[in-house]
Amino acid sequence: MNTPVLETALEKAERIHDADVLDAAISRVAAEINAALDGEPALFLTVMQGALPFAGQLATRVAAPLTFDYIHATRYRGATSGGELHWIKRPNVSLEGKTVLLVDDILDEGHTLAGIRDFCVEQGAVRVLIAVLCEKRHGRGAGLAADFVGVEVPDRYVFGYGMDYHEQGRNLAAIYAVDA
């Protein structure tokens, strides 16, 4: 099977949010997190790989004392639709008694984030706050709501700014949408 070509997808894609919109959204989310934490230390837990660009920008704007780790769990594994949650890496630090700021690229149906949030609670986190760069609002969710949302995206296949198009395009500075 041939991997779809990113350049071909970009020719057909609609740019949903450009770099300026995303930068402003990240600043707003950071301000909301700063207000919610009010100086309280937190564990900044990045969901790899998609959240990496968002997390890097967000972390520099959060004023509270942070420790860092990452978690890697996925349902997509290079596909355009999700399957069963697959754990690749769990945090190295203890979550016991901590406030966790769980940072991800997108809240779509919420199954992956719900599984990760539940894991954090099971490991003893006293509070789990969820920050996502993007959220799809479509009524098919797992009942999970993010505490902080950067931008909304349409109910289409989106990529760029951490989200991939068949493992390509995570480094794009804008978010694009194509029909799956």
Residues catalogued as catalytic:
108
* Element counts in the chain: helices (H) and strands (E): 4, 9
* Closest among 116, 168, 119, 113 to 136, alpha carbons compared: 113
Q: Crossing angle, helix 19-37 and helix 52-59, to 10 degrees? A: 60
H or E element: which one contains 35? helix 19-37
* Closest among 2, 3, 26, 5 to 175, alpha carbons compared: 26
Q: 116 — phi, psi (to 5°)?
A: -70, -45
Q: Is the peptide bond before 168 cis (omega within 30 degrees of 0)?
A: no
Q: How far apart are alpha carbons 24 and 22 in whole angstroms?
A: 5
